[in-house]
């Protein structure tokens, strides 16, 4: 089973509930780890964060759509080091949302 198939299985056949048995497959892909956190878990998903953190785009979306605030320190630091457009948008996002419980910079 691919990460894409695992994600759609959780979404369609498990009515949006977590499926721990397929999570090892999903964490192989940043996009589907992000989507699983956003659509199935509907919140922070520590198991998927290492793969998500490898891609600035998915890290940015994870911060804005899932966590709705500052990324965990290891992801935050990696994002800052990227110094690209998504990193700049991320900094702007957390600066504009200082009251988010996750925005302890």
* Residue-wise pLDDT tens digits, 52-77: 999 999 999 999 999 999 999 999 88
| 69 in a structural domain | yes
Number of structural domains (the chain) is 1
pLDDT computed for residue 103 by the predictor: 60
pLDDT computed for residue 47 by the predictor: 97
Location of structure tokens 């998504």? 86
| 104 in a structural domain | no
Going by C-beta distance under 8 Å and a sequence separation of 6 or more, which residues neighbour residue 93? Answer: 63, 64
CA dihedral for 33, 39, 40, 46, sign (positive or negative): positive
Location of structure tokens 């949006």? 16
| 37 in a structural domain | yes
Q: 71, 63 in Cβ contact below 8 A?
A: yes
C-alpha span between 25 and 10 (Å, rounded): 12
Domain that holds residue 22: 3-96
| 73 in a structural domain | yes
φ/ψ (deg, to 5) at 68:
60, 40
| 47 in a structural domain | yes
Query: 4 or 17: which carries more pLDDT confidence?
Result: 4
pTM: predicted TM-score of the whole model, two decimal places? 0.87
C-alpha span between 76 and 57 (Å, rounded): 13
Q: 102, 67 in Cβ contact below 8 A?
A: yes
| 101 in a structural domain | no
Q: 38, 65 in Cβ contact below 8 A?
A: yes
């Amino acid at each position: 089973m691919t990460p894409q198939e695992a994600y759609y299985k959780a979404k369609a056949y498990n009515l949006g509930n977590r499926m721990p048995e397929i999570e090892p497959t999903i964490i192989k892909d940043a996009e589907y780890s992000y989507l699983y956190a956003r659509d199935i878990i509907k919140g922070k998903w520590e198991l998927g964060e290492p793969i998500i953190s490898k891609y600035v785009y998915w890290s940015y979306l994870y911060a804005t759509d899932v966590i709705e605030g500052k990324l965990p320190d290891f992801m935050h630091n990696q994002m800052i080091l990227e110094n690209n457009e998504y990193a700049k948008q991320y900094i702007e996002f957390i600066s504009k949302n200082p009251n988010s419980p996750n925005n302890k910079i």
